[in-house]
Amino acid sequence: MIKIFRLKNIISIKDFERQDIEYILDEAAKLEDIAKSREFSDELKGKILGLMFFEPSTRTRISFETAMKRLNGQCIGFTSSGSSSVSKGESIADTAKMFEGYSDALVIRHELEGVSKFISDVVNVPVINAGDGAGQHPTQTLLDLYTIKKEIGQIDNLKIALVGDLKFGRTVHSLSNALCLFDNVKIYMVSPPELKMPQEILIDLDNTNVEYEEADKIEDIIDDVDVLYITRIQKERFGDIDDYLKIKGAYVVNKKMLEGKDLIVMHPLPRVDEIDTDVDNTKYNKYFTQAANAVPVRMAILKTVIKNNPK
């Protein structure tokens, strides 16, 4: 079967069909050698990527830049609202239109849900959502799925625990939606009562054949899972800092808890205190591999959307 990729904009993983995900994962596998051996290809020579990062980022922004540069393209952009003319009162739409004039695709990170979608409605170049508030983070999900497929062998039949801030964590929202496209998946959701998975995502899951179960403690589910996907409590999204302080440190995974278990530990990073550093030098640690996989996966995304949508 010839696989195709149908999307111009990467806004929500809910826009994807299984074949779109498989297309990107297959492309990423082909590009992994270039990424890992620190080589370059001319796939995007002469192309410019606009990076509009209104919210802080390390991995996402740097891996998009690395991906573009490995394909011999170039990057322009800003890394905070304060360093763009939005701080002078320019509208996001006007800023985006400037970037449209200068670049072949835009990558957007913003603290408000829906901003990438809004920008995709006002520009003609492809728009990639690199995280919108507590909404979606579709390119993180693609690299998470790539990592799961590489490490476990397949995504079908997966048993995964999502641990931590399931209310505000956009990575677990996107990942849950994506898993709806695979067969026989079971999700265990482990969070403090205040940070449970939003009802709308549970409804999405109810409409598919993904099975899910909520749990209070990691210990209750650790023997049943292939992947422990740990997340940071999203401090910046709490209205009241005291609410954050009450929950901070609620879940910590350490080496002792993992000994003898047949699973891998993933985390979108940054970690605060939810994975003890004694896990770093064990076979369970796949979070740094996951971060490295961002480069071939984002190379695949950029190559696909920029080549499919020439200016």
Residues that bind ligand NCD (CB under 6 A): 59-60, 131, 137, 140, 170-171, 231-232, 268-269
CB of 167 to ligand NCD, least distance (A): 13
User: Which CB atom, from 100 or from 116, has the smaller least distance to ligand NCD?
Assistant: 116
Burial class (CB in 10 A: 0-12, 13-18, 19+), 230: buried
How far is the C-alpha of 46 from the C-alpha of 42, rounded, in Å?
9
d(CA 223, CA 80): 42
Least Å from the CB of residue 97 to ligand NCD? 26
| Rounded-to-integer distance, Cα 95 and Cα 266, Å | 36
> What HEC string does 212-263 produce?
EEEECCHHHCHHHCCEEEECCCCHHHCCCHHHHHHHCCCCCECHHHHCCCCC
Instruction: Decide whether 62 or 76 has the Cβ nearer to ligand NCD.
Output: 62
Structure tokens at 138: 């579709």
Q: How far is the CB of 261 from ligand NCD (least distance, A)?
A: 24
Residue number with CB closer to ligand NCD (170 or 286): 170
Can you say whether the dihedral through the CA atoms of 66, 71, 74, 78 is positive or negative? negative
Give the shortest CB-232-to-ligand NCD separation in angstroms.
Answer: 4
Query: Nearest approach, Cβ of 55 to ligand NCD (angstroms)?
Result: 8
3-state helix, strand, coil in the chain (%, to 5): 45, 15, 40
Cα atoms found within 13 Å of the Cα of residue 8, Cβ hemisphere only: 11
Among residues 12, 28, 44, 26, the alpha carbon closest in space to that of 293 is found at: 28
Least spacing, CB of residue 268 vs ligand NCD, in Å: 4
- CB-nearer residue toward ligand NCD: 171 or 293: 171
d(CA 132, CA 129): 7
Specify the residue, 60 or 177, whose C-beta has the smaller distance to ligand NCD: 60
Nearer to ligand NCD, 100 or 146 (CB): 146
- Using DSSP, how many helices (H) and how many strands (E) does the chain show? 10, 9
232/286 with CB nearer ligand NCD? 232
Tell me the closest approach of the beta carbon of residue 309 to ligand NCD, in angstroms.
24
Kindly state the smallest distance separating residue 255's Cβ from ligand NCD, in Å: 22
Choice between 110 and 149, CB closer to ligand NCD: 110
DSSP assigned state of 46: T
Cβ atoms 105, 124 nearer than 8 A: no
